[in-house]
A and B are shown apart, each in its own frame.
Chain A
Amino acid sequence: MIDAYKRLMNIEEPPAPKTAKGFFTDTSLCIGCKACEVACKQWNQLPADGFAMTGNSYDNTGTLGATTWRHVQFIEQAKANGHGLEQRWLMMSDVCKHCANAACLEACPTGALVRTEYGTVYVQQDVCNGCGFCVPACPFGVIDRTPTDGHFEAGTAHKCTLCYDRLKDDMTPACAKSCPTASIQFGDIDELRERARRRLGELQARGESTARLYGMPESTEAQEVGPLHAFFLLLDEPEKYNLPSIPRLPRKTMAERYGWSAFVGVGFALVAAVVFGGRR
């Protein structure tokens, strides 16, 4: 009966789950070459976003967005020491985190955002109606809608697909493939996490005392959004990289916020009752 219904309605079985895949982006190896940005745009045929200098170090693409799915941040740091300046130039290739509890996916009312068989989060373009609920839901500011005169169907939401089409053919995502220094590493998520823990140990042994992992199952960042399928090794606090120290899931604070709304509403009603009621 159900099978007949599925056939009638042309409903396909979802693909069987595969080993979860993800990115480990090791910023200690990043040389800021932006090959990942270009490879991503070329493979996914994303347009250039405009030709204006931002003046913010060597970053001229600014943010992740509907047509920029990898974005390299440049953070210049300098402090005086005994003989001159102690300088750091932190570079980090940012990307969709493919959260285990993805806020965008929870906010999506149409089912356009789905979790794939690889454990990644994917926008089905033929389903997205451009409502935009996912955009403010994302605690990282990753997903975005195209402007009305954009490259895609106007207003639809876009973000990194973790090169879903390449994964289907057992290919490495374009960004990881192009990275010359293995700063972006792609693989089975469990193996990548092991590798990240080892790497952190190495760096700490070398005296990189500020190195830390971001988005691991055991990290505080995972409290609400869960472990990240694209996680990072950072050389400074997350805020320095424009990452929230605790990314929030809107659902978690919904009851509280509705409560406050109701409380304020009732309060206004009372004030109105007193003010207008007293006039009679």
Chain B
Amino acid sequence: MGSNMAENHPVGFRWPMKAKERGSTLIHVDPRFSRTSAVADLYVPIRPGSDIAFLGGLINYVLTHERWFKEYVLAYTNASSLVSDDYVDAEDNGGLFSGYDPKSSSYDNASWAYAGMGPAKQGPARDETLQHPRSVFQILKRHYARYTPQMVERVCGTPPPLFLQVADVLARNSGRERTSAICYAVGWTQQSYGAQIIRAAGILQLLLGNIGRPGGGIMALRGHASIQGSTDVPTLFDLLPGYLPHPAAFKGDDTLERYMRESAVRGGYWSNLPKFMVSLLKAWYGDAASSENEFGYQWIPKLTGDHSHVSTSAAMADGKVKGFVVFGQNPANGSPNSGLQRRALTRLDWMVAIDLYETETAAFWYAAPEGWKPADIKTEVFLLPTAGPPEKEGTFTNTQRLLQFHDKAVDPPGDARSDLWYVYHLGRRLKDLYRGSTNPRDQGLLNLTWDYLPERPDPQWRIKDEPSDEKVLMEVNGYTVADRKQLPDFEQLKADGSTACGVWIYSGVFPGPGKNMARRRNRTPDNDVDPEWGFAWPGNRRILYNRASADPAGRPWSERKKYVWWDAAVGRWTGKDVPDFPVKKAPGTPAKEQGSGIDLHSGSDPFTLKADGRGWLFAPSGLKDGPLPTHYEPLESPLSNALYQRQDSPVAKRFSRKDNAISPPGDPRYPFIVTTYRVTEHYTSGVMSRWNGWLSELMPEMFAEISPELAGEKGIANLDWITVSTPRNQIECKALVTRRMRPLRHDGRLIHTVGLPYHWGYKGLVKGAMANDLVALSEEPNVYIQEDKAMTCNIRKGRLR
């Protein structure tokens, strides 16, 4: 669901194809009949934006038909935990949870907490019979009781027999002997409640016992190679490396001590946060970081608000951003409301675009469809050529958290340099420019460790001042400060400044000089996990929470699904994978009453990162838009919410501005749903594919996919020019009329969907209109992503003018 894996991850899709050959059932739930649907055993149509209703329907089916994995759910999830008396569910409050403040459009989540979590209490109160009305299990049951097959049909447009077939296949293929996996991609994440859709899948998989077990799980198919790596390291504004929260002024993180106290969780592995944070500061600031100066904590700029890409674009359009360095990204085409993005670029003083080709972003000043005269553009634009993957070394981290290092095969041509080269030398020159400054705000830059040139440049390459990726990776792995010895893993990290570590979750990837584990390419014939291929974080564990692959007593749930188990004879966990659990903690170990960290967990609490060691059916904290996934309509929808009085996400951020208008629900001017996506033949905004003739000829022109029914209604023939409009913009493209687009019936009304790939632009061998011109700026509240999978539009026959 939410993924077109065959088209967008064709190489990874070999594995589902192999599974199918071995007898697995492949189900594709999607608004479009795509190349994935074509090879699936079952294709199930769904209206864009209705995924939570569908998954909620599955949850309800599993609960009401008693198809949940009882021992697993009871032992490993928070089903039995009791929730605070103050909690009010969305079911009883028109679609809003308790704690909602309409003024700020945000929740105070205090009432979502477990009951009995007073300062003196260790863990939540539990009712192992699951009968208590405030138990998570009963709350869950009530929350999804109205998500019936009939409701699923009404909201999603999915015929009940098909829905029930999915439910039955999933339930039959889960339990002791079997497991099911769910794959998703940006079809889920790029919605105004994307994180909640994934949560709904998490609830379903926990109920079916499909987490922490081989063949189970929820696979996030990432949108680019190494997007996983870029969230781990990360390139996100609100996180420090390894998912440490970024210090924020508005959270009161004014001292290191306070930041660590607020951010660390008492129970679970996150209680070690101080070790990760201090080691990170030591890696960044080296000898300048000491306990006297909070290890340089004050040199990290504190967040003052939402600095996500979408918000920054809006600020840039308002003239609040002066300079812009853009690497490997093409906002003038690839980002939401790209017309606004282009106008924003005209408000800059300067922009540096670093890419393989002259992107739409780099060329906005003379080539944008707005037809601006270069003389009228005040922005000074620098275009710098970068190196492609074979022209540099480095790692890719894939969706399995597997790091694979690759060598450089050839020097990049001419002046082209790797991204690392640009960042390293920019940093080096800036440090030179600021040398001798006593201004406190410059000390962070001046004290930054910046030693990444190799001891000797590799004689086979022309470029002699290329930094060493392996040196970076060695710092990422971490070392002991006193003797500069590489650390074997993150268990060795200390909060006293004696260890340094760039990204704690990656620790173990480079445990000694010359021991780059991400280079390994060894097969292990008798172990299909292949633990010596690359390196998976954390600690080379291929499946997270794999303690759950054994029953509470530590025995595999079944011989067929044997993965990690307790070997009583030697008193340790063992198996095909590295146990994601304290290796000597016996299954019967009781939770400690005192202390912190995973000592507060028992020997049968597999979810070590969670405060209570359990998989969360109900999320008492961590999400800004509710403890349980709830169906809302997209920000733009032709339908009103059939389940709740509340129409759309109460906390998603809309950017209410003249150049970002959003249609009201059921707007007759924009009666059709529009969704954007990619096709196999191109890559994102086309920078890496539209300059290549072999790829361009395969998909040469921008098109819109529409059903014969909609084409008939509008008098459109195949290949006709059509104009697609939203309140933001309008674009022209060719129509591809196909039965693969199906109108769906909702309450007797036929709802059409228009499909738009977003690969074309105004540079490259093949050019065409940009689908992102139609998309609105908006933000999902947890991860700040725009909603472009479900919007509304209108179409007409004919060109723009």
Q: Residues on A close to B: CB < 8 A? A: 29, 31-35, 37-38, 41-42, 47-53, 55, 57-58, 60-61, 76, 78, 82-85, 87-91, 180-182
Contact = CB atoms under 8 A, between A and B. Distances in A.
Residue among A35, A37, A47, A180 with max Cβ neighbours from chain B (10 Å): A180
Given A32-B35, A49-B697, A53-B734, 8 more contacts: A32-B38, A34-B681, A51-B701, A53-B699, A53-B703, A60-B700, A89-B740, A180-B14
A51 B14 contact: no
A47 B38 CA distance: 30
Contact of A31 (B10, B43, B679): B10
16 contacts: A31-B7, A31-B39, A32-B6, A32-B680, A33-B35, A34-B698, A37-B694, A42-B694, A50-B697, A51-B696, A51-B697, A53-B734, A55-B736, A84-B45, A87-B33, A89-B33
A29 B35 contact: no
B766 interface: yes
B185 to A, nearest CB: 16
B161 interface: yes
B256 interface: no
The binding surface of chain A is classed by DSSP as loop
- Chain B contact-residue range equals 35 or more
Interface of B: 6-7, 10-11, 13-14, 17, 33, 35-39, 43, 45, 159, 161-162, 679-681, 693-701, 703, 718-719, 734, 736, 738-740, 742, 765-766
Contacts of B10: 31, 33, 35, 180-181
A51 to B, nearest CB: 4
Contact of A182 (B14, B161, B738): B14
A158 B740 CA distance: 35
A55 B734 contact: yes
A31 B35 contact: yes
In the A-B complex, the 6 residue pairs with the smallest Cβ-Cβ separation, listed nearest first, are A48-B693, A89-B38, A51-B700, A83-B159, A55-B719, A78-B739
Residue among B159, B694, B738, B766 with max Cβ neighbours from chain A (10 Å): B694
Contacts of A83: 159, 161-162
Nearest to B45: A84
A88 B38 CA distance: 6
A78 B33 CA distance: 11
B738 A57 contact: yes
Nearest to B38: A89
A89 B45 contact: no
A35 B681 CA distance: 9
A55 B384 CA distance: 38
A76 B679 CA distance: 17
Given A61-B698, A85-B739, A87-B43, A180 B11 contact: yes
A76 B6 contact: no
A47 B14 contact: no
Contacts of A82: 161
A41 B698 CA distance: 12
A52 B700 CA distance: 6
Nearest to B16: A181
A60 B697 contact: yes
Given A34-B681, A89-B35, A51 B765 contact: yes
A32 B17 CA distance: 13
Contacts of B742: 84-85
A50 B225 CA distance: 29
A38 B695 contact: yes
B695 to A, nearest CB: 7
B39 A60 contact: no
Nearest to A41: B694
A70 B740 CA distance: 25
Contacts of A180: 10-11, 13-14
A76 B695 CA distance: 22
Residue among A34, A37, A52, A82 with max Cβ neighbours from chain B (10 Å): A34
A271 B262 CA distance: 107
A28 to B, nearest CB: 8
A89 B7 CA distance: 13
A76 B738 contact: yes
Contacts of A37: 694, 698
Contact of B701 (A53, A57, A88, A89): A53
Given A31-B39, A34-B680, A180-B13, A48 B694 contact: yes
A42 B698 CA distance: 14
B739 A76 contact: yes
A82 B700 CA distance: 37
B116 to A, nearest CB: 48
A216 B642 CA distance: 57
A88 B739 CA distance: 10
Nearest to A89: B38
Given A34-B680, A41-B694, A55 B718 contact: yes
A51 B764 CA distance: 12
A84 B736 CA distance: 21
Residue among A47, A91, A181 with max Cβ neighbours from chain B (10 Å): A181
Contacts of B37: 87, 89
